[in-house]
Structure 1
Amino acid sequence: MTSEYLVTLGQEAKKAERKLRTLPTGQKNRALNQMAAALRQVQADILKANQIDLEAGATKGLSAAFLERLTLTPERIEAMAQGLESIAALPDPLQKIDQAWQTDDGLWISRKRVPLGVIGIIYESRPNVTVDATALCLKAGNAVILRGGRDALQSNMAIMKVLRQALSQANLDPNFVQMIDKPDHSLAKEFMQLNDYVDCLIPRGGAGLIQNVIKHATVPVIETGVGNCHLYIHQAADIAKARQILENGKLQRVSVCNALESLLIDAAIVEQLPDLVAGLIQAGVEIRGNQKVCQFVPQATSASESDYAREFNDYILSVKVVDDYQAAIDHIDRYSTGHSEAIVTEDYQVAENFLADVDAAAVYVNASTRFTDGQMFGFGGEIGISTQKLHARGPMGLDALTSYKYQVRGQGQVRS
C-alpha cells in the first residue's frame, strides 16, 4: 500500500502540473530569474547546510570522489544560478510546432510539443541536480518530485527551500517542485511504483542506483548516466593533441560520468604511451593495463577483465594496447556503456569510420568526452545523460522533457 505521504506529494504535483501546461513563457522565465537571484542571496545558508553533509560524510568514511561530487562552493552555486538564467533565455519548447500539413480530406494537422507531465528524479550526491531538474522541468511545463540521496539531504533541503520561496514570490504554485525528505529505502521503492501520479522516472547516479530503479520501477524509466568512456589513440594521432585530450578527459573532474575510464592505443605507436600517461601518473592516477602496457609503463599494474568494464569515478584508468583499428572497435563494442567514446586521429577516413562504427550517445573525434554535458551542448543544463535509445539519447535538455500531441482542425468533416 502506498504511503499517504507519497500520495499527497503526487496529488499536489498533478494539480500543479495542470496549471503549468499553459503557463505563459514570460512568467516561467521571470520565475527562473528570481530563483537565480535567490540562490545568490542565500548562498551562505546553502554552504552551511552543505558543510553539515560534508562533515557527516567524512565521518562515515565516504570516498574522496563521492565527497567531491557532494561539495558546493561559491563558484558552483554561481554556476547553478547562471544555469537558471541560461534556461530562462532559451526558447520555450512548448511553443514549437514540429510539423503541420493538410490532408486530402481538408483536415489541418499539426504536431505540437507538450510536457511529459509529472517527472520523478532519483539521484545521489550532486546537489546541483536539485536546481537543474527544477529549472528544466519548469521551462518544459512539467511538475517534478525529487528524491536525493541521504548524504546530501541538508544541502538539497536548503536549496529546495530557496527555490520554493522564489516560486511563491513569482505567484506560481510552489508544489510544482517537491522533494521527498524521508530517505528510507522502502519509500524510494514506493516512489518508483507511483504510477497514478508520476509519468516518467529518471535516475541519476552510479550503476547500483540505476539498476535498482530499473529492477523495481513500474513507472516508465529513462536510463541515464553510467559512463565507461573510452579514448582511442589511433596510430595517425597528433600525440600532443592526444595527451591534452587524455589529461582533460581523466583529470578535469574524475568523479563525473563523462570522465575517461579507459584508454586504447595502437601497438604501432606504443612507444608513445609512457609520455602520454606521465601527467596522469604524476597526478596520482593508477594505471591498470594488459601485458604490453605493463611492459612500457613500469608503474602500471595488471588489469583484470572487470577493470575494462568498470566506471571508476576515481583516479584509476584501464589501458590496453590494441593491434589495430578493428581491435579497438571490438573492445569498445564489448565494454562501452553507450555514453561517450572518442578517437584521436589525423586520418580523415578513420575518423569518419569511427563516427559511424561506434554505438554511443556521443561520439567524438579529436575532442574530450568531458563535453558531453547539457550546458556545453547549448541546452542550458540537463536532466541527465540518457544511454538508451527510446525517447531520448545523450544530454537531455528541454526538448527531451517534452512529448507531442496532434492537433486536428476541421470544418465538419466525417470519415466515409
Structure 2
Amino acid sequence: MSTITPDVVEQVHAVARRARVAARELALLTRAQKDAALHALADAIDDATAAVVAANGEDIDRGQGNGLPANLVDRLRLDEDRVHSAADALRQVAALPDPVGEVVRGSTLANGLQLRQVRVPMGVVGMIYEARPNVTVDAAGLGLKSGNAVILRGGSAAASTNAALVEVMRGGLAAQGLNPDAVNLLGEGGHDAARALMTARGLVDLVIPRGGAGLIHTVVTESTVPVIETGTGNCHVYVDASAETGMAVEIVTNSKTHRTSVCNAAESLLVHRGAAERVLPAVMEQFAAAGVTVHGDAEMQRYAEAAGAVHVPVTDEDDDTEFLSLDISARVVEDLDAAIAHVQEHTSGHTEAIVTADRSAARRFTTEVDAAAVLVNASTRFTDGAEFGFGAEIGISTQKLHARGPMALPELTTTKWVVEGDGQIR
C-alpha cells in the first residue's frame, strides 16, 4: 500500500472527528425526530430532482466520453423516476421500526442483578463505493435511522451527482435543526481519501465497500477499520429434473435479463440432464430475443445454436466470472449432486437458486449450498433489502460475521450490556 499524503489524512480525519460529534447527537434522537428528518430529506430530494438529474447528466456525459462500460453507465444513471425512488426509499425507512434501544435479551441473576443487552448505533460508518449514486441516499437514510453518522466516498464517475445529493441532504438536516455532519462526502483526495478513511481506526467504527471485486478486495485487505464485506454476485440458477417447464423458463430469464448490472443477477445456469430437452429450447429462445451470449458446454451450445442465440465455449474462468452484462455461463449437469458440487466450487456466497418440484431436492439444496441467500422456485433478483421488506439496504454481505445477506437497520447497530443492581458487590 502506497504512502498516503499527510494533508489528505488530516482532511479525512477532520471530517471523521466532526462526524463523531454528530454521531453522539444522533444517538440521543427519538424515533419521531429521526422519522421527521427522513421525511424532510425525502421532500428535499424530490424538490431538487431537476438539479440532481442535471448533475447526473454531467457524470453520464463524462463517463461515456471516458469509455465507461454500459453496465456501469446503467448503475450511474439517475432519471426523474430513479430520483423519486431514492426519495421514497427514505420514506420507507422512516416507516420501519427503530432498532436502537431494542432489548435483544435480558435476565435477572440470582444475586438480583438485572441484565439487558440492547441495540446501540455503531457510531461513524464509512461507505466506499463506485458508480451507484442511489447508495449515497440509502446510506444516509439508514445511517440516520440507526443513529449513525456516515462518511461517503463515492467513485469519481458519480462525483457531480453525489455532491448534489449530499448538498441537498445536509441542507435538509440543517433545516431540521440537526447536525449536517451526520452526512459527509469525501469529494476530493482520490484514492488517498479512501485509504485514509479505511485506516482511520479510532475515528471510524466500520467501513462497508460496495462495488466490483477489485474495490472490495482492496478495502478488505488494506483496511485497519473493521469491514463488512459486500461481495460480488456470481449467482447460479439450477434447474432440477422435476422443474415445471414454464416456471423454469421465467425464473432463468428474469434472473439473467431483468437487470444485468446488479449483483443479484444470475451469472451461471445449470440444468439437470433430465430437464434439458424440455426446458432449454425455450430458455435459449428467450436468451436469443434478449441478446444474451451463452458461454456454454457442448450441449448448451447445441441448444443455443438451434434457437439462434449467440454462443461461445465456456471456460473455467467463465465459471467464476461476475459478468454484469448479457453473458451467462451455462452447463448441463448429470444430477443434483453435480449441481451442488459445481455451485459450492464457484459460488461467491451471494445468492443461489434452485427450480424444482421435488421437496427433497429443495431441502438438500438449501441445506448444502453455502450462500447468504438460497432461493427455491424464485428469481435471484429478489435478494434485495427492499424486496425483503427492509426498506433501503446498505449492501448485501457475503461474509459470516455480524451480518449476512441484505443489510438494513439492525445490521448497522451493535449491542451493549446494561447491568442494574442495588449495591451488589463481588
Normalising by the residue count of structure 1, what TM-score does the alignment of the two structures yield?
0.98
Cα distance in 2 between the residues matched to 1:73 and 1:358: 38
Q: 2:286 aligns with which of 262, 279, 301?
A: 279
Q: Match for residue 26 of structure 2? A: 20
Deviation at 1:183, TM superposition (A): 4.9
- In structure 1, the residue corresponding to 2:381 is in which secondary structure? helix
Cα distance in 1 between the residues matched to 2:48 and 2:344: 47
* Alignment partner of 1:224 is 2:230: yes
In the alignment, is the contact (CA less than 8 A) between 2:106 and 2:115 conserved in 1?
Answer: yes
Deviation at 1:216, TM superposition (A): 1.2
Structure 1 residue identity aligned to 2:52: I
Report Cα offsets for 1:262-297 as digits up to 9, x if no partner: 000011122231221211221111000112212332
- In structure 2, the residue corresponding to 1:219 is in which secondary structure? coil
| 86-95 or 336-345, which deviates more | 86-95
In the alignment, is the contact (CA less than 8 A) between 1:80 and 1:128 conserved in 2?
Answer: yes
Report Cα offsets for 1:304-333 as digits up to 9, x if no partner: 100000100011010010010000000000
Q: Match for residue 55 of structure 1? A: 61
Deviation at 1:348, TM superposition (A): 1.1
Q: 1:301 aligns with which of 285, 304, 312?
A: 312
Note the 1:26-175 alignment, pairs <5 A: 26-175=32-181
In the alignment, is the contact (CA less than 8 A) between 2:284 and 2:303 conserved in 1?
Answer: no
Q: Match for residue 322 of structure 1? A: 333
Structure 2 residue identity aligned to 1:192: M
In the alignment, is the contact (CA less than 8 A) between 1:351 and 1:365 conserved in 2?
Answer: yes
* Alignment partner of 1:340 is 2:351: yes
Cα distance in 2 between the residues matched to 1:128 and 1:208: 21
In the alignment, is the contact (CA less than 8 A) between 1:281 and 1:287 conserved in 2?
Answer: no
Residues 246/183 of structure 1: CA separation in 2 closer, same or farther (3 Å cut): farther
In the alignment, is the contact (CA less than 8 A) between 1:150 and 1:183 conserved in 2?
Answer: no
In the alignment, is the contact (CA less than 8 A) between 2:296 and 2:331 conserved in 1?
Answer: yes
Cα distance in 2 between the residues matched to 1:283 and 1:72: 23
Cα distance in 2 between the residues matched to 1:156 and 1:115: 24
In the alignment, is the contact (CA less than 8 A) between 1:50 and 1:152 conserved in 2?
Answer: yes
Cα distance in 2 between the residues matched to 1:49 and 1:388: 35
| Identical aligned residues as a percent | 45
Q: Match for residue 394 of structure 1? A: 405
State how many pairs are aligned: 415
Q: Match for residue 424 of structure 2? A: 413
| 294-303 or 252-261, which deviates more | 294-303
> C-alpha root-mean-square deviation of aligned residues, in Å?
1.0
Q: Match for residue 220 of structure 2? A: 214
Structure 1 residue identity aligned to 2:339: A
In the alignment, is the contact (CA less than 8 A) between 2:112 and 2:421 conserved in 1?
Answer: yes
* Alignment partner of 1:404 is 2:415: yes
In the alignment, is the contact (CA less than 8 A) between 2:243 and 2:275 conserved in 1?
Answer: no
Q: Match for residue 259 of structure 1? A: 265
In the alignment, is the contact (CA less than 8 A) between 1:344 and 1:366 conserved in 2?
Answer: yes
Q: Match for residue 298 of structure 2? A: 291
Cα distance in 1 between the residues matched to 2:164 and 2:233: 29
- In structure 2, the residue corresponding to 1:57 is in which secondary structure? helix
Structure 2 residue identity aligned to 1:375: A
- In structure 2, the residue corresponding to 1:119 is in which secondary structure? strand
